[in-house]
Amino acid sequence: MITGSLQKKKGLYYAVLNLYDDYGKRKPKWIPTGYTIKGNKKKAEEKLEQFKIEYEQKSKIQLRDPNIYDKYKNILFCDYMLEWLEKQKGKVEQTTYIGYEQVIKGRLYQYFKAKKIKLVDLKPKHIQDFFDLLFSEGLSGNTIKHYRANISKALKSAVITEIIDSNPATKLEPIKVKEYTADYYTQDELLNLMEIIKTTPIELPVIIAGVYGLRREEVIGIKWNAIDFNDKTLTIRHTVGRGKINGVTQFIFKDRSKSDSGYRTLPLFDFIADLLKEYKNKYEENKKFFGNTYVNDYNEYICLMENGELMKPGFLSQKFSEILDKNNLRHIRLHDLRHSCGTLLVRNSVPLKDIQIWLGHSNFQTTLRYAHADVENKRISANVIENKLALDTKKEQITEIAL
């Protein structure tokens, strides 16, 4: 850090900076502030600080690799973001990369391209002005946080590679996010929903999501080989989402790592096993009905459309919302079935640790043995779910026992 002081000379203030040569010998540099001594001390002190910052930056530039600096000294910030994005391929999961791409290639690139701001000239105010525009366009704080995260990560990389000296994004105030309060259905509402959903094309995924508290992509990603009818287990190890890859919207298939807390084996309830067998027979009938037009590409999955196509996540969410409206049911998100399951377990005194294992919470610090915990470790959770949500002829009897 360059130090210095104010000195008086011939009625003027001078900033004297303590600079050093290559041998460590002090070489003070006198710089006129342009201010007279009388009544200008504060202004002269501000000028001194300005000179210290300028010379500090100059000294850092001298230490940079000239090849790196020459390459990036004229690059626009928006173009640097595209370059950083390209380098993320293979470093992050496909779904994460798609999220980065949507942020960077959309509003961010268009805005900063029009401003023609160079990476080396980027200031906190430039970024804040962009965020203010996003807020004015109605984007939520949570969405804008994704923009900030991408910008901050990219600029951090620029600092590490010595393209810039500091990350201007770190100087911004935190983005205020409206905290979302998860909604949920009560036990009675869940049972009512599951009766209504029976006559719809999304019966199977909705019932499984409600009973096990699965995420949408987890439900659609269940394959027949994840179900063991003999040992009565259901394993969550594969997900299916949707996103744009090279501009084309398509399915995104992902096998979970065994160290991921989302990989878990749960008990297969009898009423769920019966439902799955019904759908297995139903799909065979659909194959005969559609003949050569039946899509056989997704036979390994359990959540299919009538013609054999894999159910799309967006279709499931949209249809769920339509069914709630059509039947005058209280509106919740499809993901709130997961919260409904968790709430049901909490209200029936299931230990928090068991609930975290059951739901596969990503913030639950665990290891493979937790993900593969013996079914007995989940027996309390299983009993509550089966007693409360079993959809069979013994429902009245089960309800009496639960009460």
SS3 at position 163 = coil
> What gap in Å lies between CA 388 and CA 390, rounded to an integer?
6
> For residue 270, what pLDDT is reported?
95
Same domain, yes or no: 79 and 59: no
Same domain, yes or no: 132 and 157: yes
> For residue 145, what pLDDT is reported?
94
Same domain, yes or no: 25 and 111: no
SS3 at position 52 = helix
Contacts for 272 with CB less than 8 Å, ≥ 6 apart:
207, 208, 211, 234
Residue 297 covered by a domain: yes
The structural domain count of the chain equals 3
pLDDT (tens digit per residue) in 339-375 = 888 888 877 877 777 888 888 876 643 322 323 334 4
Range of the domain at 318: 187-402
Contacts for 113 with CB less than 8 Å, ≥ 6 apart:
76, 78
Residue 354 covered by a domain: yes
pLDDT (tens digit per residue) in 310-347 = 999 999 999 999 999 999 999 999 999 988 888 888 77
CB 12, CB 32: distance < 8 Å:
yes
Same domain, yes or no: 102 and 39: no
Distance of CA 299 to the CA centre of its chain: 30
Burial of 231 (0-12, 13-18, 19+ CB in 10 A): exposed
Residue 348 covered by a domain: yes
> For residue 393, what pLDDT is reported?
44
Tokens encoding 203: 């019966």
Same domain, yes or no: 53 and 86: no
Same domain, yes or no: 77 and 46: no
Residue 230 covered by a domain: yes
Residue 178 covered by a domain: no
Its pTM surpasses 0.85: no
> For residue 81, what pLDDT is reported?
97
> For residue 375, what pLDDT is reported?
45
CATH number of the CATH domain containing 342:
1.10.443.10
The tens-digit pLDDT sequence of the chain (403 residues) is: 788 999 999 899 999 998 876 556 788 999 999 999 989 999 999 999 998 888 777 665 554 556 666 788 899 999 999 999 999 988 888 888 888 998 999 999 999 999 999 999 999 999 999 999 999 999 999 899 999 999 999 999 998 888 888 899 998 988 887 766 678 899 999 999 999 999 899 999 999 999 999 999 999 999 999 999 999 999 999 999 988 777 788 898 888 643 456 788 999 999 999 999 999 999 999 999 999 999 999 999 999 999 999 999 999 999 999 999 999 999 999 999 988 888 888 778 777 778 888 888 766 433 223 233 344 455 666 777 777 777 654 444 434 433 3
> For residue 345, what pLDDT is reported?
82
Same domain, yes or no: 345 and 208: yes
Residue with tokens 């990476």: 119
Same domain, yes or no: 48 and 149: no
